[in-house]
Amino acid sequence: MYVESVPNRNSPPAILLRESSRLDGKIVKRTLANLSDWPASQIASLRRVLKGESLVAPAEAFHIQRSTPHGHVAAVLGTLRRLGLERILARTQCAERDLVVAMIVARILEPSSKLATTRGLRQETATSSLSSLLGLDQAVEEAHLYRALDWLLERQQNVENALAKRHLSDGSLVLYDVSSTYFEGRRCPLARFGHSRDERSGNPQIVFGLLTAPEGCPVAVEVFEGNTGDPTTVAPQVNKLRQRFGLTQVILVGDRGMLTSARIREDLKPQEGLQWISALKSVQIQQLVTGGALQLSLFDQHDLAEIRHPSYPGERLIACRNPLLAEERKRKRKELLEATEKQLNKIVAATQRKKKPLRGRREIGLARWAAFWAATRWANTSACLLKKTAFVASASRTISNGKRLWMGSTSFAPVFRPRLSAVKKWWSAIRDYPMSSARSGV
């Protein structure tokens, strides 16, 4: 039995399944089936079977021992190479550069400790195709990663200079901000007890500042001692921009807590060609309002207004009012007043109850203080009479235009919840004003 292809003039050949035999000394062919409509692969398989070969199903031909995820690694590593980051780290390939690239990709895909990262890079315990793509065939140990970081630290200035040359130019904006994180251990020379943004005041802190391009691309980073104040980190960044990066015209952008009036006066104004954009603090904005320099009528037609003031010579003040935020502050203030009044009414009821009424100037005063303990004074309190046997309080709901502008300031009543968490929640609700003002030395 065999498969034969029979020519068919101008038509495709006929594929026939035949068998042959001898009859009276002659070879006789008998057609068993016409296979012309079969796929070519199926016909080839039938020929192999007829020749005595053993066919194996694809699932049985090989055994999958392991399969590691690849798509997300290809996306991140491909983007990194398209940005040319490998050549910025080092022009030639080396083991340290591959390990640094592996740590960058691993930090993006699955942030973890150095020990967990080494497990993900070993061939036996690999969690992705990252090690194979970078050619990390050797067993990666934790010490290898730390040595690669030491290698990177030696090249930090070269990397930052290359990034600054690519992303910064004279006259461009430079964004700067600082943050901090807590530190485990006692051997870090920069770890100090200071302000904790992670609410881990019991741990030493380290402070780090980041310079970025206008698009947000990181250019340079610097680590400071944990007890370093944010404003004191400005001067080193100015020197870095001027001396290392060679920029003569710079516009530095920072928040109000960092670019303070003292830093502007001492570090920025003396520098020729250095301009800045920051924001005024709430007390400074309130002074502009009380002095009449900043009025609500400025925002009748536009959301932005530019003003000048003798207190800020050579600076432009750009004021912006958000009506949606003002409405939200108005709502919160109303809720705070109602909640405080509710607590005060409880004190009044306690002094008038028949069984064990609240008596005594000290006891009533302590109860009243419990309702006001998070605020400096109650907003617009028109009557607050404290006697030995009675307590009467009332609040005025009438708010002037000036008070509407400062909806949510510390003079308004808090929600009475004698817990630290409630005080923090109240303060976060009222500390931001619907009016903001930016100061610019541009």
Predicted confidence band of residue 380 (pLDDT cuts 50, 70, 90): very low
Q: Give the residue numbers spanning the domain of 140.
A: 71-154
Q: Is the separation of the CB atoms in 270 and 242 below 8 Å?
A: no
In a domain, 289, yes or no: no
pLDDT for residue 412:
26
Q: Judge if 46 and 78 occupy the same domain.
A: no
Mean pLDDT score of the chain: 81
Q: Judge if 86 and 48 occupy the same domain.
A: no
| Residues whose CB falls within 8 Å of the CB of residue 35, separated by 6 or more in sequence, listed in order | 3, 15, 16, 17, 43, 46
Among the candidates 251, 279, 307, a domain finishes at 279
- Pick 297 or 308 by higher pLDDT: 308
In a domain, 378, yes or no: yes
pLDDT for residue 436:
59
Q: Judge if 265 and 186 occupy the same domain.
A: yes
In a domain, 420, yes or no: yes
Q: Judge if 77 and 34 occupy the same domain.
A: no
Q: Judge if 273 and 330 occupy the same domain.
A: no
Q: Judging by beta carbons within 10 Å of its beta carbon (0-12, 13-18, 19+), is residue 131 exposed, middle or buried?
A: buried
Q: Judge if 383 and 341 occupy the same domain.
A: yes
Any idea which residue has 């046997």 for tokens?
Answer: 389
Overall pTM surpassing 0.95 (yes/no): no
Determine what percent of the chain is predicted with pLDDT higher than 70. Answer: 82
Q: Judge if 206 and 261 occupy the same domain.
A: yes
> Of 395, 381, 391, which Cα lies nearest the Cα of 348?
391
Among the candidates 11, 28, 58, a domain finishes at 58
Write out pLDDT tens, residues 111-150: 999 999 999 999 888 889 999 999 987 788 999 999 999 9
The residues pairing with 383 across neighbouring beta strands, listed in sequence order, are 394
State the total domains in the chain. Answer: 4
Predicted confidence band of residue 83 (pLDDT cuts 50, 70, 90): very high
Token pair of 256, please? 């109000």
Angle, helices 142-154/156-167, rounded to nearest 10 degrees: 60
- C-alpha to C-alpha distance for 348 and 350, rounded to whole angstroms: 5
Token pair of 399, please? 């708010």
Q: Judge if 134 and 32 occupy the same domain.
A: no
In a domain, 391, yes or no: yes
Q: What is the DSSP string of 81-115?
A: HHTTHHHHH-SS--HHHHHHHHHHHHHHHS---HH
Write out pLDDT tens, residues 161-216: 999 999 999 998 999 999 999 988 888 899 999 989 888 888 999 999 999 999 99
In a domain, 293, yes or no: no
Q: Judge if 52 and 78 occupy the same domain.
A: no
pLDDT for residue 365:
72
> Of 115, 434, 135, which Cα lies nearest the Cα of 296?
434
